[in-house]
Amino acid sequence: MKMNIKALAIAIGVVWSACVLLVGVAHLVWPGYGVAFLDLVASIYPGFHPANGFVAMIVGALYALIDGAIGGAVIAWLYNATVRAT
């Protein structure tokens, strides 16, 4: 059975974006929350600095949406290529 590449790309992009946004907003409310996670995300996404406030969280969420969508498309494509090969 083939996997829908577009659907998986959208789903993973939205979920990863929501994770980054929710941890970022929680960090704004409780400053010690998710520091290690946000530092890791900031080291991957250029221009994302969690200390810069809510606008930075939106920037991080947009990076995560694009990154997750690309990752989801690659996963679905690899799955489909593997299923055809067997």
- Rounded CA-CA distance 65/46 in Å is 14
Nearest alpha carbon to residue 29 among 48, 49, 62, 57: 57
- Rounded CA-CA distance 85/75 in Å is 15
Tally of domains within the chain: 1
Q: Which residues of the chain have pLDDT under 70?
A: 86
* Domain, as residue range, for 56: 5-85
Residue 47, pLDDT score? 86
pLDDT digits over 52-71, tens only?
Answer: 889 999 999 999 999 999 99
pTM score of the predicted model = 0.90
Residue 1, pLDDT score? 86
Q: State both tokens at 77.
A: 């494509």
